[in-house]
Amino acid sequence: NAGVTQTPKFRILKIGQSMTLQCTQDMNHNYMYWYRQDPGMGLKLIYYSVGAGITDKGEVPNGYNVSRSTTEDFPLRLELAAPSQTSVYFCASSYSLSGRGNYGYTFGSGTRLTVV
């Protein structure tokens, strides 16, 4: 069981470039999340999804886009990268039972992104 798989693990981008961070889970979890972790700060929610075809903004969505075409995949797109997007990004998944509760929180190993 792979859990939550994120790629790439490291990436350096130039200002203005674009890229997609990939996230796949094999646990049939309905909820998926993208967080960013900055030094000295708690993780912040970028976007989340409660199921295929449904996405919603979190606390810090500006400069990012997501899609959820399947239960397994939840890619995060960075358009026009800026130095402020230098961070460590974590994908996570969890499941609910009949829309109640939130269980089995599982994190990917993270992507360390530097924008120069």
Residues in contact with another protein by the rule CB under 8 A: 31, 33, 35, 40-45, 48, 50, 56, 58, 90, 92, 96, 99, 101-103, 105-110
Nearer to another protein, 72 or 95 (CB): 95
Nearer to another protein, 1 or 41 (CB): 41
CB of residue 15 to another protein, shortest distance in Å:
25
Instruction: Report the distance separating Cα 11 and Cα 23, nearest Å.
Output: 15
Nearer to another protein, 16 or 51 (CB): 51
Strand 19-25: give its sheet, edge to edge: 4-7, 19-25, 76-78, 64-66
Tokens of 23: 């996230």
Nearer to another protein, 26 or 56 (CB): 56
CB of residue 23 to another protein, shortest distance in Å:
13
Phi-psi region of 6 (alpha: psi -120 to 50; beta: other; left: phi over 0): beta
CB of residue 11 to another protein, shortest distance in Å:
15
Taking CA 49 as the corner, what is the angle to CA 82 and CA 38, rounded to the nearest 5 degrees? Answer: 35
Tokens of 75: 């890619």
CB of residue 42 to another protein, shortest distance in Å:
4
